[in-house]
Structure 1
Amino acid sequence: MAVSKCARLSGASIGDLLDSVDSVLFDCDGVIWRGDQAIPGAPEVINSLKKGGKRVFFVTNNSTKTRKMYADKLGKLGFNAREDEVFGTAYCSAVYLKTVCKLDGKVYLIGSNAMRQELETMGIQAVGVGPDHISGVQNDWANVPLDPEVKAVLVGFDEHFSYAKLNRALQYLCNPECQFVGTNTDTRLPLEGDKAVPGTGCLLKAVETAAQRQAQVVGKPSSFMFKCVASQFVLDPNKCLMVGDRLDTDIMLGSSCGLKTLLTLTGVSTIADVEAHQRSGCPIRQEMVPDYYVDSIAEILPALQG
């Protein structure tokens, strides 16, 4: 449809947009739920889309849960969702290491148990999960024991991130043949009440800085997230809609992969952020401008029920 960039989605335009796509990709936190509470109307939107014959996928940068854990959460919140419709960075990182990196060896993992489980499901053994305490002096740190079978370093969200882990990752990455992958570059995780905590991007940047190397990033806005879904379900980008609350991840992914994009204002980004990108004149920032926006995805429910 020929529309101006970032048009308010309402009325007949909702039905026109939905008619133009056969698959809808949703970010999760800030879009269909906040924390452990579903966004009002979100389960009905998802379930109505699926009942109407649309394919629905859940695409998240969060690396702390397995696909099964996400499917269980979706079910508890009232969403009709299958495990194979969930694409989180724990799973997608395992796919990336297996199919793109062709990894033949172990992974030094700065990350969660969920990431370890997804790697093991792909037949990849991970080492390093859990606390790692520093001891000795600097010369000991530079000669810390390493597993010779480790062929890659993978960095995701790790509540046990420490100097010891940063150092061990550096020592592995001193080998130029050791592959280096990160789940995502989100620097802050927004919480209720305008609070926030550091995100995976902070940990990844620390490792990149120490190793003086750039990681291959799997998560949004990397096109690999969409390729991971598209390769398994044969999606046509021209008939897909990406729905998200972050301009620099969700909307940029959709724009770069040729998807239609819809911003919901129930999460991180605001219309003021969009307008700033529009005024910038910067081609990269223009990719963060969505095709459409709504206050909440619940606004599309009447078009689905009518």
Structure 2
Amino acid sequence: MSTYKQTCTNLLELSNSKVTEWLASFDTVITDCDGVLWIYGNALEGSVDVMNQFKAMGKKIYFCTNNSTKTRAELLKKGLELGFRITEEGIISTAHATAAYLKQRKFDKRVYVIGSEGITQELDKVGIKHTQCGPDPMQGPLGEFMAKHLKLDSDIGAVVVGFDENFSFPKMMKAASYLNDPKCLFVATNTDERFPMPNMVVPGSGSFVKAIQTCSERTPTVIGKPNPAICESLLNPKKIDPARTLMIGDRANTDILLGFNCGFQTLLVGSGIHHLSDVDQWRKSKDPEDKKLIPDVYLPKLGDLLPAIVNSQTGGSY
């Protein structure tokens, strides 16, 4: 068990020797991407150097994202262009994990997809049939739509919901209708509620999932963080030792909670969604679920760790 278990210890306030000791306490690093490594396609200062230093130190590196709009190949291309030394096998994405989930269960019907081509391309790679992505607008008043335009396919065996900028009333209606069959699987890539941006809020996949969940009166199997299913490929074959694995994230209710659920060490960075002010609120809360969101250690941003890593390798000061 980590010395700093759920203490939210600021690594910048520890001595050189303590940080070096902490760095030696894990062999595997699993990190979120957006808000930790990059924002809007631009690498955050120092993140590339820190991750590449981790790899140079011999640690296993995995990028783990709830973003279902990209395939692993696309995420690899983006990472390499930014300078990260990663491989496709080191990328864990909800689109790929969703396809793997269905394949492992020998799914042989067709998938109704609410999402993007990131999902459909990963389904194609494992030979699973699916509907196409894109707009499905309301055509006329509801009565006219139901009488003339609503068509349900008879071979749908699963509904997969991810981020869909073309989400619509007809899509929700079709999904719920398919899910009326109790044998139809209901799979959500992730349940991130929203993406805060300056002066606006962009709905996340969780907003669409919740709408369909309410309409269908069904509870989905959630593949993405914080569900351990996202790390099934690492945990089941015992590729990693959970106690010696560090989970890095900027969102506590996905990244840090995943770490708690899997028995990983956790590091919260303040370069994205959640900050120390949020941790203070969870500490005061009487809800035991809030306590699970408190990380072991904290940094303002991942790049702040670079001097400490250099120090641990040289024996100098920082």
TM-score band by shorter chain is over 0.9
Structure 1, 3-12 or 175-184: larger mean CA deviation: 3-12
Unpaired stretches in structure 2, ≥5 consecutive residues: 312-318
Matched, 1:98 2:103: yes
What is the aligned partner in structure 2 of residue 160 from structure 1?
Answer: 166
Matched, 1:145 2:151: yes
- Tell me the CA shift for residue 134 of structure 1: 2.9
Among candidates 173, 183, 187, match of residue 179 of structure 2: 173
Q: Deviations over 1:140-173 (max 9, x none)?
A: 5389322222100000001111111111111111
Matched, 1:190 2:190: no
Among candidates 120, 129, 151, match of residue 124 of structure 2: 120
SS state at 1:168 partner? helix
Residues 213-228 of structure 1: pairs in structure 2 closer than 5 A: 213-228=218-233
Between the aligned partners of 1:231 and 1:118, the Cα distance in structure 2 is 21
- Tell me the CA shift for residue 225 of structure 1: 1.3
Contact between 1:181 and 1:218, CA under 8 Å: does it hold in 2? yes
What is the aligned partner in structure 2 of residue 9 from structure 1?
Answer: 11
Q: Deviations over 1:258-293 (max 9, x none)?
A: 000000001110101111111113221111000000
SS state at 1:170 partner? helix
Contact between 1:87 and 1:229, CA under 8 Å: does it hold in 2? no
Letter in 2 for 1:124: I
Q: Percent of pairs identical after alignment?
A: 40
Between the aligned partners of 1:139 and 1:175, the Cα distance in structure 2 is 24
SS state at 1:254 partner? helix
- Tell me the CA shift for residue 232 of structure 1: 5.9
- Tell me the CA shift for residue 139 of structure 1: 7.3
Between the aligned partners of 2:90 and 2:199, the Cα distance in structure 1 is 31
Contact between 1:247 and 1:269, CA under 8 Å: does it hold in 2? yes
What is the aligned partner in structure 1 of residue 316 from structure 2?
Answer: none
Among candidates 27, 35, 42, match of residue 40 of structure 2: 35
Matched, 1:206 2:228: no
Contact between 2:138 and 2:145, CA under 8 Å: does it hold in 1? no
Q: Deviations over 1:225-265 (max 9, x none)?
A: 12233346711101100000011110001011100000000
Contact between 2:190 and 2:205, CA under 8 Å: does it hold in 1? yes
Q: Deviations over 1:170-206 (max 9, x none)?
A: 1111111101000111111123x35431111111111
TM-score (norm 1): 0.94
- Tell me the CA shift for residue 82 of structure 1: 0.8
Which 4+ stretches in 1 moved above 6 angstroms?
A: none
Contact between 2:195 and 2:202, CA under 8 Å: does it hold in 1? yes
Contact between 1:71 and 1:81, CA under 8 Å: does it hold in 2? yes
Contact between 1:141 and 1:167, CA under 8 Å: does it hold in 2? no
TM-score (norm 2): 0.91
Unpaired stretches in structure 1, ≥5 consecutive residues: none
Between the aligned partners of 2:89 and 2:152, the Cα distance in structure 1 is 35
Contact between 1:23 and 1:239, CA under 8 Å: does it hold in 2? yes
Between the aligned partners of 1:21 and 1:243, the Cα distance in structure 2 is 12
- What is the aligned length? 304
Between the aligned partners of 2:26 and 2:64, the Cα distance in structure 1 is 17
Contact between 2:120 and 2:132, CA under 8 Å: does it hold in 1? no
- Tell me the CA shift for residue 304 of structure 1: 2.2
Among candidates 111, 116, 127, match of residue 115 of structure 2: 111
SS state at 1:281 partner? coil
Between the aligned partners of 2:237 and 2:48, the Cα distance in structure 1 is 24
Among candidates 288, 299, 304, match of residue 304 of structure 2: 299
Between the aligned partners of 1:12 and 1:26, the Cα distance in structure 2 is 24
Matched, 1:18 2:23: yes
What is the aligned partner in structure 2 of residue 45 from structure 1?
Answer: 50
What is the aligned partner in structure 1 of residue 314 from structure 2?
Answer: none
